[in-house]
Chains A and B, each alone.
Chain A
Amino acid sequence: MRIRMLIMLACLAPWVARTETTDNAGLTQAEAEQQFFAAGAAYKDKEYARAAADYKSLLDAGFVSVETLFNYGNACFKQGDVDDAVLAYRRAWYLAPRDPDLAANLRFALQTSGGIEPERSTLFRIFTEFSWLEWRAATSVALWILFITAGLWLVFRRVHAWLGNVMMIAMVLVLLTASGWGYWALLLRSPEGVMTGGEVTARFAPMADATPAFSLPAGSIITILEENKDWYRVGTGDDTGWVPKTNCKQVYPWKPGAS
Chain B
Amino acid sequence: MKTKQNNSHRMSVEGVVMTAMLLITGAAFAQPQATLDVQPRVIRLNEQATLMLSLSGVPNPQPPNIDQLPNFQVQYVGQEQRFSMVNGRTSQTMTYRYRLVPQTSGEFTIGPFQLQAGGTTMDVQPVDIEVLSVSQQTTTRPADDKGQTIDELVFARISASKETIYNQEQFYLFIDLYVRGVNIDRRISLNNMPTTGLSVDTFQEMSATREQVNGNVYDVRHFRARATALTAGSFTFKPQLQVQIIVPRDQPQRQRDNFFGFEMFDQMFNRYETHPLSIEAEPMTIAVSALPDDGKPDSFSGAVGRFNLNVEASPLELKAGEPITITMDIAGEGSIDSVAKPSLALGDDFKSYEAKMIERNYDASRGVGHKVFEQVIIPRSTNIVEIPPVVFSYFNPEKEQYVSVSRGPYPLTVTASESQGLKLVQAEQDAGSSTIRQLGVDIVYLKSAPDAWSPAPTGAIRPGPRWLAIHTSPLLALLALVVWVRRREKLAGNTALARRIQAPRRARPALKAARDHIDDPAQVYANLWRALSAFMADRLNMDDGEITPSLILTTLKDAGLPDDQRHALENLLATGERIRFGGGGSPDTAGRLQDIDLTTQVLQFAERKVR
Contact = CB atoms under 8 A, between A and B. Distances in A.
Given A33-B449, A154-B481, A15 B465 contact: yes
Nearest to A188: B461
Contact of B458 (A111, A140, A255): A255
A37 B448 CA distance: 9
Contacts of A7: none
A40 interface: yes
A207 to B, nearest CB: 10
- For the complex, would chain B's binding face be called helix, strand, loop or mixed by DSSP majority? loop
A26 interface: no
A144 B458 CA distance: 26
Q: Which size class do B's interface residues fall under?
A: 35 or more
Contacts of A95: 456
Nearest to A96: B456
Nearest to B356: A114
B197 to A, nearest CB: 8
Interface string A114-143: 110000000000000000110010001001
Indicate the member of A147, A155, A214 with the most B CB atoms within 10 Å: A147
Interface in B449-492: 449-450, 453-467, 469-471, 474-475, 477-478, 481-482, 485
Interface in B156-170: 167-168
Interface in A176-233: 181, 184-185, 187-188, 199, 204, 210-215, 217-218
B354 A114 contact: yes
Interface in A96-121: 101, 104-105, 108-109, 111-115
A64 B455 CA distance: 5
A16 B471 CA distance: 11
Interface string A1-29: 00000000000100111111110100001
A147 B474 contact: yes
A218 B354 contact: yes
Given A181-B461, A188-B460, A213-B337, A36 B356 contact: no
Given A214-B337, A253-B460, A253-B461, A43 B446 contact: yes
A140 B470 CA distance: 9
A7 B470 CA distance: 18
A115 B354 CA distance: 8
Contacts of B475: 147
A15 B355 CA distance: 54
A146 to B, nearest CB: 9
B486 to A, nearest CB: 9
B422 interface: no
B234 to A, nearest CB: 16
Interface stretch (B109-117, B437-445, B520-528): B437-445
B302 interface: yes
A63 interface: yes
B256 interface: no
19 contacts: A20-B466, A20-B467, A22-B455, A22-B457, A24-B453, A32-B453, A64-B458, A65-B456, A66-B450, A105-B443, A151-B481, A155-B485, A184-B461, A185-B461, A188-B461, A217-B356, A218-B354, A253-B459, A254-B458
Interface of B: 167-168, 230-231, 302, 337-338, 340, 353-356, 441-450, 453-467, 469-471, 474-475, 477-478, 481-482, 485
Q: Which 10 A-B pairs have the closest CB atoms?
A: A114-B354, A101-B444, A67-B447, A147-B474, A20-B464, A29-B453, A211-B230, A65-B450, A105-B443, A185-B461
